[in-house]
Amino acid sequence: MRDYFYNGQVRLDWGFGNPNVTGSLIALIMLAAWMLAYLPRGWGKAGFWIALAANAVLGVFLVQTFSRGAAVAWLAGAIILMAYAPRPWPRGRLVAVVIFSVGLMLYATNLGLSDRTLHGMSGEDKSVTNRWLIYQAIPRMAWDAPEGWGHERGAEAFRQWYQPVGRTETYGRLVNSHATWLVEWPWYLRLGYGLAWAAVLLLCMPLARMRFSPALAVWVSFGLGACFTTIAHHWQLWLVPGVLFLLLLLVRFGLKAWPGRGHWKYAGAAWALAVLVWWSWALCTPSQIQLTNGVVAVHGQAPQTTVLVLGLDETVMGKFYGHRIRERCAKEPLQLCMRWTPTAAALPASDVCVVAGNVTEQVTVQDNPSLSKTIRWVLLNPDQPSSSLLKLMDVDTPPPVTIQFGSFAGGPGRYFWQALAAKHPTQIKIEEITGSGRFLRDWSRTTF
């Protein structure tokens, strides 16, 4: 497993492969420990000191993760705990909390977490600036894809269609659990997700008869932590907030204390306001992208030519094929469409159809009638054709086909297409790209 370092020091990780996830788990346990201070019949007094001791130990571990997001999430939860803590505060407890807080701050400063936090505010830390680039794109990504970008494809969608051209960072997810799900899911799940969070936070609000705040502190910390990294994608991180939420529901059942109708209206209105801000941000962000029925469309200037990329093979088109497509469409009257969902059947009619690598083995013309009307085909380092594609190409008068092979690319597909081109020399042309192998660097400039 990979180790992470800061200033030569190993960042603490409990097997998640990400110190930020470890830090968030520690923060949740630290906040949840304070439920011991609410134990009845005098047990709460001993519970306070146990919780404080646990926080002192876990606080050291939290600092050792060097996770700024986890520290901020813990601080937000701690503020909630302090705001709802029973008054008056006994002097002995107050002094102990102050000593704990000062000691933790001094330890964080000595270890370097404070310096890392200040560096993040300077605008020079790529960990922060890269996140901001993603956050800025999220509203528009969701708006451009009403049906959602698809499970585990949000990061790929950002890399291809929204990342600034020339940036080469790659992400497994969008460094934010909320953002990842909100762009990958369709609108009905997005709206339901927000309403679920509004309901949970409302139910976690301390009761008038019992100012029990650890549940709210934990859920706020969990939600905030999920804004900084994908902690909610780890089932282990749901255990602490989940258990506290179930305990709180049992208490509400016992006391028959539930939020009034007005409270539910306020919670719904808060989410509606958040959605309104979300849509406003999206509409103020320019975009040339639209995902409809599993097909991505990149709109150029007054498009006169429609190009369809029938699936993709990154070994031929590269990991950042979307950057090249956007560059081309931004300068020329083109509309480029790409089948994003492999099962998308409603393909648009096109002037040029581009097929790369192993996608030739998957083409089914019968299921997509618009393909038979394509004016010109371009094949990039194609593998063997499917029987459907072969029936379209190997006829008396096939459609115009341009086949590009890298000069160093081989394989049985090359020999097959060379033989087919020899059979139809006027309609099927082969171009050799000098100095290229499987990967064709300039395919977007030379194909259409």
Q: Over the stretch 122-173, which tens digit does the pLDDT of each residue have?
A: 666 777 888 899 999 999 999 999 999 999 999 999 999 999 998 889 998 9
What does the pLDDT average to over 394-414? Answer: 86
pLDDT (tens digit, 9 = 90+) per residue, 245-298?
A: 999 999 889 888 899 899 999 999 999 999 999 999 999 988 889 999 999 999
Contact (CB, 8 A) for 303 and 336: no
Q: Tell me what the mean pLDDT of segment 225-250 comes to.
A: 95
The residues that bridge with 279 in the sheet, in sequence order, are: none
Domain ranges of the chain: 5-121+211-256, 289-446
Three-state SS for 176-197 is CHHHHHHHHCCHHHHHHHHHHH
The pTM assigned to this predicted structure is: 0.90
* pLDDT in the model for residue 6: 76
Distance separating alpha carbons of residues 79 and 75, to the nearest angstrom: 6
Q: Helix, strand, coil % (nearest 5) of the chain?
A: 55, 10, 35
Which DSSP helix (H) or strand (E) runs through 10? strand 9-10
ω before 88 within 30° of 0 (cis)?
yes
What is the reported pLDDT for 120? 65
Could you read off the pLDDT of 331-367 as tens digits, one per residue?
Answer: 888 889 998 987 777 788 888 989 999 998 888 876 6
Q: What does the alpha-carbon distance between residue 274 and residue 267 come to, in Å, rounded to a whole number?
A: 11
CA 216/CA 256 separation, integer angstroms: 19
Pick 206 or 412 by higher pLDDT.
206
pLDDT band at 45 (very low <50, low <70, confident <90, very high): confident
Beta strands in 248-384 (DSSP E): 289-292, 295-299, 305-309, 334-339, 352-356, 376-380
Say which CATH superfamily domain 289-446 falls into.
Answer: Alpha/Beta hydrolase fold, catalytic domain (3.40.50.1820)
